[in-house]
Amino acid sequence: MKPPPFRYARCATPADAVTLLSEAGEDAKVLAGGQSLVPLLNFRLARPALLVDVNPLEELAFVREEADGALCIGALFRQVALEATNLGARWQAITDAMPRVGHYPTRVRGTVGGSIAHADPAAELPLLCVGFGARFALVGPAGERSVEVDDFFLGPFTTAVAPDELLTRVSLDPPPDGAVSAFEEFSERHGDFALVSAFVGLALVDGRCSWCRVAIGGVGPTPTRVPDAERALADSGLADAELGIAADASARCCTTGGDVHCSAPTRRELVREVTLRALLRARGRLTDRMGSKA
Amino acid sequence: MTTALVRTRAPSVGLALPRVEDDRLVRGDGCYVGDIHRPGQLHARIVRSQVAHANLLAVHVEEARAAPGVVTVVSGSDIPGLSEKRIPIRLSPGQLDRFALQTPLALDRVRYVGEPIAVVVAVDPYLAEDAAEAVWADVEELAPQLDPVPGHGAPLLFDMVPDNAVATFETAHGEDVDDLFRHADVLVHERFSVHRHSAAPMEPRGLLAEFDDDSGRLTVHGPTKVKHFNKRVLADLLELAPDRVLLVEPDVGGGFGPRGEFYPEDFLIPWLAVQLRRPVKWMEDRLENFVALNHSREQVIEVAMAARHDGTLLGFRSTGWCSLGAYVRTTGHTVPRLAGIHMPGPYPWRGFSTKFVSVLTNKTPLGTYRGPGEVEATFARERALDLVAAELGMDPPELRRRNLIRSDALPYRVDTGAGSEPLVYDSGDFPAALDQLLVAAEYEELRRSQAARRQDGEAVGIGVACFFDQGGIGPFEQARVVAEPDGTFTGYVGVSSIGQGVQTALAQILADELGVDVDRVRIDHRDTDSISDGTGAFASRTTSFGGSALILAARKLHEVARARGADVLGVNDGEVTVEGDEVVTGNGRSVALAALGCEAAATFESTHVDFSFGSAVAVVSVDRPTGKVTVERYLGHYDVGRAVNPLIVRGQLDGGAAQGLGGALLEDLAYDDQGQPLSTSFMDYMIPTLCELPTVQSSWSEHPSSGNLVGAKGAGEAGIIGTLAAVANAVADALAPDGVIVRSSPFTADRIRALLRGSDAPMSVQPSQVGAG
């Protein structure tokens, strides 16, 4: 459990990082918080020739709400900082999820961009991106480009970030006014990667569901929206039966087979249950909001 | 004046003194083997088999030998006479062991993933690991044998071991079991299985060996637990005189049974240091630890149990199969043998028979782990008892209360057949202890609350288990007590410190016997030079045996001091007494022991074995939709004989329970169908964190042991023994309305969901198979 040899370089600017990455070709890896990369190095599952340490890029450690309401998070923003940020009700899924991202000590070092670029199929932050919808800013030799979430997560541990590109920030799409969101996951122990996780976003207009998002994680190569679930909820009154139909649709979306922790049938059952709990939690939040406005 | 002081000195045994070890350890001032460095030291990396079962045709080391920084690479054929260097067993031999002992490197066959096939030695641990990747083996893969209950035609690990059954242990007691079954009102029959899991010490193993050419002595830092045995084995395998070998115990991050046994590395690293004439260091990493350290627990146990309508237990028959892994290691067949011994438990059976088989499997070898065999037997017996209770419609604690051996029947002797030592349960009050636990748990209130929560649709269960903790195994322990010139006393002991508070508890015992303050007493367990022999730290024996040896040595020291003191004071022996740190005459003249330069050694010997009673209650809730089991409460009550240091006792009991709960709920050394281990990191081998554990409430009674001078019984293992059984019974109780039968551990969400789906179908076993043969 000692890494194979690698070179190490610290960069002073994002352009620096891009230059270093370009020179190294396919053999370079960006080192941010290191909470996933360093164990991979120690297991010798990753063998980069060069580590480009982006920790000096303090300008990428920020969170801000844009004029259009989008939540823009710098890639170097530490997970523990996002956890401590006071976000509005519609971003509540983030508040739900952050304490479940690893353990407190790993969140102190772990970054938002690092977790997203690592793209573990069971990780919380990629699911939030898929659930809310997101755009990712990538800086490369030709300058900056923006990638939509549908084109970003390509497979397990695989994203649209090219070997010579650096993820600098993510912008989560703003949910409509009055919307709520919720996150649920199931793991055997606190802090483990989720066996399954679910994101739900809801808004009501005149008692009918005007906006809904259902996304699940840990159940396939990437986190994924569940269109059948969203269709079941759209324009509905969010009655128990409709929530149940949406949860069933989620379970059908689960393509992951069994592994040491969970057999395939159990995973499908968990997807249904976790989705249902996220739906109930989100609906409860809507009800609370209605109550407080009345 | 001195006399008066001594007479008012309060004994320190029984006081909850803070551990003298802790101040240093919590400040980060501990010295673990990784902290020891020697000039010019080299670093070893073990190359391990990647396949579970194969003929080993060749090991190619040439490329690795040429790698940067490499000093040497050694495979089995490079060590002269390796085929004769088989690691011997220390405990519990079996019938066919001689065919199934492990050589430190594989020779012509590999039998588990993780088996050492070569060692790389380099100037730097990173370079050693780089070079190890360049070692490769030609293998001819064989079908793996992974089943603890192999069918006919299963692959053989050793041609000379038919059916892979390397040892069988049988016990029989009392009346004919078939006859008892025929006259029973209730007969239950079930097959239970305990999954493979083991200790996960925070600090993996490590060794640093150095050979001094001038003195011709080999020093090895790192072995703990049974260092005198390991010294003899090492000297024998290296063909060195025993006095040329010194084993030194550093601080260790957790023992729990597996650490400190003699493993392949315990030969390889010293052998390399002797060959290379340079210090060689090896630090086990976590990936290695999961395939190299002894596994434990994996057993299948079938039980048939008979009772009368009124709950009177009549007899049982059990057959067990223990998945022993690929080789018989130093602890031999302790695990299945103790399972057999613990099947009867604290109940007065009119007759029983047990048969336990050690089955070789292509997995990491299995050895002892805190509560070896006792955990598994308790699980099977107490589960079967709950099935009897269910058949009778009787509350489970009531069934136990009606049957537990009464205190007026103690000592209670169980003959277990020709050639077996009888089991003697000597002291305690078992029914009173169970009642005390149930009161502490507010059992009646628990049942009322359970009924209310069931009404609300919750799955809540209460599980009870009773058991014995077998502690204080002989045959002997040594101690040497020295009156130091500075007025302090040093007690050298042959037992080891694996974190149990040896330096504190033994100091309390020694201080009381010497009649001095505990802070003037120091315990030294560090090496094999300062004391000539010892048995070691296992079987909850360090306090009872180490303490008894210290008491004998202290008494002898006083004899020596009286003789010398009388001489110095110019009086007869009979005219002096020892009062604390002085020899005094009747008229008040005195000389300090410190000035007399005296010391004494003694050996405490005993064949007595304590069976101390314990009981446990677990309250669990099961989240049916996800299958998640939450242990809400866990209480245990134990007879510890004498609590030398209540703080340490509590730590041991609570810690044992926490470790047991992890094993019951989460920890699983799973393998795939090719014998590849699936749990080789803490991401997959899930030890519990505080988030997963309930508050553990441990309490104890003190019925002193008659078998040693301290009165202590086991406390180090007591806390873990009932965990699996109590949690299993609680889970079964929680899911009783769902009509499922709980047979197999662990109780992960996935297993519970499988139970609720009905996919954990009962194994088809014919009653005639039970105990047949």
CA dist A119 and A41 (Å) reads 16
B150 vs B54, B155, B303, B356, B379, CA distance in Å?
19, 9, 18, 14, 22
Distance CA B305, CA B191 (A): 12
Residues of chain B positioned with their CB less than 8 A from the CB of A265: 753-754, 757, 759
Please name which of B352, B436, B428, B434 lies closest in space to residue B398, comparing C-alpha atoms: B434
Distance CA B189, CA B766 (A): 10
The residues, any chain, with a CB within 8 Å of residue B450's CB and separated by 6 or more, are B460, B461, B462
Q: Is A43 within 8 Å of B757 when comparing Cβ atoms?
A: no
Q: Do B683 and A43 touch (CB under 8 A)?
A: no
Distance from CA of B750 to the nearest CA of A (A): 5
Q: How far off is chain B from A1, nearest CA to CA, in Å?
A: 6
Structure confidence by residue, pLDDT tens digits, B669-722: 999 999 999 999 999 999 999 999 999 999 999 999 999 999 999 999 999 999
| Residue written as token pair 């370009």 | A22
Q: Using an 8 Å Cβ cutoff, are B207 and B221 in contact?
A: yes
Residue B608 clears pLDDT 70, i.e. is over it: yes
The pLDDT score that the predictor gives to residue B764 is: 36
pLDDT at B769: 37
- List residues bridging with B623 in a β-sheet: B628
Nearest by CB to residue B130, choosing from A5, A189, A192, is: A5
E strands along A141-286, which residues?
A: 143-148, 153-155, 158-159, 166-172, 180-186, 196-205, 208-217, 224-225
pLDDT for residue B773 is more than 90: no
Q: Report whether pLDDT(B5) > 50.
A: no
pLDDT digits (tens, 9 = 90+) for B740-772: 999 999 999 999 999 999 865 444 333 333 333
Please indicate whether, in this complex, the C-beta atoms of B753 and A190 are within 8 angstroms of each other. no
How many interface pairs between A and B have CB atoms less than 8 angstroms apart? 70
- Token pair for residue B721? 């023994």
Q: What residue ranges in B659-764 does DSSP mark as E strands?
A: 696-701
Report which secondary-structure segment, H or E, holds B119. Answer: strand B116-122
Are the CB atoms for B666 and B686 separated by under 8 Å?
yes
Q: How is residue A119 written in tokens?
A: 């793209």
Query: Which pair of structure tokens corresponds to residue A56?
Result: 């000096």
DSSP single-letter state for residue B143: -
The amino acid present at B27, given as its one-letter code, is: R
* Structure confidence at residue B760 (pLDDT): 58
Q: What is the pLDDT of residue B768?
A: 35
CB contact (8 A) between residue B688 and residue A189: yes
The C-alpha angle with vertex B21 and arms to B16 and B27, in degrees rounded to 5, equals 115
Provide the 8-state DSSP code for B117: E
Nearest CA among B10, B5, B78, B123 for reference residue B512 = B10
| Contact predicate B271/B74, CB 8 Å | no
Please answer yes or no on whether A190 and B754 come within 8 Å at the CB atom: no
Q: Distance between CA atoms of B268 and B74, rounded to whole angstroms?
A: 10
For Cα atoms B517, B522, B526, give the angle at the middle one, nearest 5 degrees. Answer: 165
Residues 6+ apart with CB under 8 A from B520: B487, B488, B489, B511, B581
| C-alpha of B494 from chain center | 18
**For residue B472, pLDDT beyond 90:** no
Order of strands across the sheet that contains B351-360: B165-174, B351-360, B313-325, B299-307, B186-194
DSSP SS3 for B308: coil
CA distances from B229 to A34, B81, B764 (A): 44, 22, 45
Instruction: For the sheet with A166-172, list strands across it.
Output: A63-65, A71-74, A166-172, A134-140, A143-148
At B396, the amino acid letter reads P
Q: Enumerate the residues of chain B whose CB falls inside 8 A of the CB of residue A5.
A: 126, 130
Question: What percent of chain B is modeled with pLDDT above 90?
Answer: 93
The shortest C-alpha distance from A182 to chain B (Å) reads 19
Whether B753 sits inside 8 A of A269 (CB atoms) is yes
CA distance B516 to B10: 10
Q: Worst-scoring range by mean pLDDT, B34-38, B219-223, B535-539? A: B535-539
Phi, psi for B716 (deg, rounded to 5): -65, -30
User: Please, is A66 exposed, middle or buried when counting C-beta atoms within 10 Å of its C-beta (0-12, 13-18, 19+)?
Assistant: exposed
Report yes or no: B521 and B512 within 8 Å, Cβ to Cβ.
no
Written as one letter, the residue type at B429 is: D
- CA neighbor of A116 nearest in space, from A90, A144, A77: A77
Helix ranges (H only) for chain A are 14-24, 37-42, 79-84, 92-97, 104-109, 112-118, 124-132, 227-233, 240-253, 264-293
- Note the pLDDT tens digit of each residue in B610-644: 999 999 999 999 999 999 999 999 999 999 999 99
Tell me if B753 and A43 make a contact (CB, 8 A cut-off): no
pLDDT digits (tens, 9 = 90+) for B42-89: 999 999 999 999 999 999 999 999 999 999 999 999 999 999 999 999
How is residue B431 written in tokens?
């029914």
- Chain B CB contacts of A193 below 8 Å: 683
pLDDT confidence of residue B759: 67
- Write down the pLDDT at residue A25: 84
- Cα distance between residue A204 and residue A238, in whole Å: 9
Cβ contact B546:B716 at 8 Å: no
Shortest Cα distance, chain B CAs vs residue A279, angstroms:
15
Please give the pLDDT value at position A16.
95
C-alpha of A89 from chain center: 18
pLDDT in tens, B637-664: 999 999 999 999 999 999 999 999 999 9
Measure the CA–CA gap between B482 and B554, rounded to whole angstroms: 9
Q: How far is CA B756 from the centre of its chain?
A: 34
pLDDT of residue B762: 43
Contact list, B285 vs chain A (CB under 8 Å): 1-2
* B625 vs A contacts (CB less than 8 Å): 269, 273
What are B85's strand-pairing partners? none
- With an 8 Å Cβ cutoff, are A190 and B626 in contact? no
The residue type found at A236 is S
The answer to whether the Cβ–Cβ distance between B748 and A261 falls below 8 Å is yes
CB burial string B127-164: b at 16+ within 10 A, e below: bbbbbbebbbbebeebebbbebbbeeebeebbeebeeb
In the chain, the amino acid numbered B459 is A
Q: How many residues does chain A have?
A: 294
**How does pLDDT run across B219-272, given as a tens digit for each residue?**
999 999 999 999 999 999 999 999 999 999 999 999 999 999 999 999 999 999
Q: Which of B287, B691, B757 lies nearest to residue A190, judging by beta carbons? A: B691
Which burial class, exposed, middle or buried, applies to A6 when counting CB atoms under 10 A from its CB (0-12, 13-18, 19+)?
Answer: middle
* Beta-strand runs (E) in B662-725: 696-701
Enumerate chain B positions whose Cβ falls within 8 A of a Cβ in A.
125-126, 129-130, 133, 285-287, 625-628, 666, 668, 670, 678-679, 681, 683-684, 686, 688-689, 691-692, 748-750, 753-754, 757, 759
Residues with Cβ within 8 Å of B361's Cβ and at least 6 positions away in sequence, in order, are B145, B146, B147, B148, B157, B164, B323, B324, B325, B326
DSSP assigned state of A218: S
Of A2, A261, A274, the CB nearest to B126: A2
Candidate from A3, A189, A193 with C-beta closest to B689? A189
pLDDT tens digits, B303-327: 999 999 999 999 999 999 999 999 9
SS3 state of residue B482: strand
Would the CA dihedral through B93, B95, B98, B104 be positive or negative?
negative
User: Cα angle vertex B422, ends B418, B423, to 5°?
Assistant: 145
The verdict on a CB contact (< 8 Å) between A189 and B692 is: yes
pLDDT averaged over 10-residue windows placed end to end, chain A, 294 residues: 95 96 92 96 96 97 96 98 94 97 96 98 97 98 97 97 97 96 96 93 96 96 97 97 97 86 94 98 93 63
Per-residue model confidence (pLDDT) at position B380: 98
Which of B46, B282, B287, B750 has the highest number of chain A CBs within 10 A, making it the mutation to test binding with A? B750
Q: Which residue has the tokens 């892994």?
A: B325
Kindly report the backbone phi and psi dihedral angles of residue B526, in degrees, each rounded to the nearest multiple of 5, phi listed first. -75, -30
User: What is the β-pairing status of strands B165-174 and B351-360?
Assistant: antiparallel
Write the DSSP assignment of B545-566 as a string of letters: IIHHHHHHHHHHHHHHHHHHHH
Q: What is the pLDDT of residue B151?
A: 86
